[in-house]
Structure 1
Amino acid sequence: MQHKPKVVIIGGGTGLPIILRGLRDQSVDITAVVTVADDGGSSGILRNYINVVPPGDIRNALVALTELPQIDKDIFQYRFESSDSFLAGHAIGNLIITALAEMKGNIFTAVQELSSLMKIHGHIFPVANEPLTLNAEFYDGTKMSGESEITAAHKQIKRVWITPSNDDDGHHAQAMKEVIDAIMDADQIVLGPGSLFTSILPNLMIQNVGDAVRKTKAEVVYICNIMTQKGETDHFTDADHVRVLNEHLGGHYIDTVLVNIQPVPEDYINFQEWNEISQPVGHDFEGLRKQGCRVISANFLRLRDNGAFHDRDKVVTELLNRLHDVHD
Structure 2
Amino acid sequence: MEQRVSYRVPREYGPRVAVIGGGHGLSTMLRGLKQYTENIAAIVTVADDGGGSGMLRQDLGMPPPGDIRNCLEALANTEPLMSQLMQYRFSEGSLAGQSFGNLFLAALNGISSSFDAAVSRMSEVLAITGRVLPVTTADVRLEAEFENGASVVGESKIFYCKKREDCRIKQVRLIPERPKALAEAITALRQADMIVLGPGSLYTSIIPNLLVDGIVETIQESSALKIYVANVMTQEGETEGYTVSDHIAAIIHHSAPGLVDLCLCNSSPIPKSVAARYAEEGAEPLRGDVEACAALGVEVVSRPIATVEDGYVRHHSVHLARELILLHAERSVRIAGDRFGRRDNGYRMEGRRRTERGYEDEKK
- Answer whether TM exceeds 0.5 for this pair: yes
Which residue number corresponds to residue 282 of structure 1?
A: 287
* Structure 1 residue 68 corresponds to structure 2 residue 78: yes
RMSD value over aligned CA atoms?
Answer: 2.0
Which residue number corresponds to residue 350 of structure 2?
A: none
Task: Quote the Cα distance in structure 2 between the aligned partners of 1:248 and 1:219.
Answer: 20
How has the CA–CA distance of structure 1 residues 85 and 278 changed in structure 2, closer, same or farther, with 3 Å as cutoff?
same
Cα displacement (A) at 1:242: 1.0
Cα displacement (A) at 1:28: 4.3
Cα displacement (A) at 1:79: 0.4
* Structure 1 residue 174 corresponds to structure 2 residue 184: no
Identity %: 37
Task: Quote the Cα distance in structure 1 between the aligned partners of 2:221 and 2:60.
Answer: 36
SS in 1 for 2:158: helix
Which residue number corresponds to residue 167 of structure 1?
A: none
Structure 1: any 5+ residue segments left out of the alignment?
Answer: 165-170
More moved, 104-113 vs 310-319: 310-319
Task: Quote the Cα distance in structure 2 between the aligned partners of 1:133 and 1:125.
Answer: 18
Higher relative contact order (CA 8 A, sep 6+): 2
- CA offsets per residue over residues 206-259 of structure 1, 9 Å max, x none? 121122122211111011001111221110011111111112112121101111
| Correspondence for 1:198 among 201, 204, 207 | 204
What count of residue pairs does the alignment treat as equivalent?
319
Q: 8 Å contact 2:33–2:322 — kept in the other structure?
A: no
Which residue number corresponds to residue 142 of structure 1?
A: 150
Task: Quote the Cα distance in structure 2 between the aligned partners of 1:29 and 1:208.
Answer: 22
- CA offsets per residue over residues 169-209 of structure 1, 9 Å max, x none? xx741111110010111111111110000000011111211
- CA offsets per residue over residues 22-74 of structure 1, 9 Å max, x none? 01121341001111011111001111111110101111111111110121111
Structure 2: any 5+ residue segments left out of the alignment?
Answer: 1-9, 334-364
Q: Which amino acid aligns with 1:57?
A: D
Which residue number corresponds to residue 358 of structure 2?
A: none
Which residue number corresponds to residue 217 of structure 1?
A: 223
Which residue number corresponds to residue 293 of structure 1?
A: 298
| Correspondence for 2:322 among 305, 317, 325 | 317
TM normalised by structure 2 equals 0.83
Which residue number corresponds to residue 170 of structure 2?
A: 158
Q: 8 Å contact 1:138–1:157 — kept in the other structure?
A: yes
| Correspondence for 1:40 among 31, 34, 50 | 50
Task: Quote the Cα distance in structure 2 between the aligned partners of 1:122 and 1:146.
Answer: 30
Q: 8 Å contact 1:269–1:307 — kept in the other structure?
A: no
How has the CA–CA distance of structure 1 residues 276 and 79 changed in structure 2, closer, same or farther, with 3 Å as cutoff?
farther
SS in 1 for 2:18: strand
SS in 2 for 1:280: coil
| Correspondence for 1:52 among 52, 59, 62 | 62
Which residue number corresponds to residue 184 of structure 1?
A: 190
SS in 1 for 2:274: coil
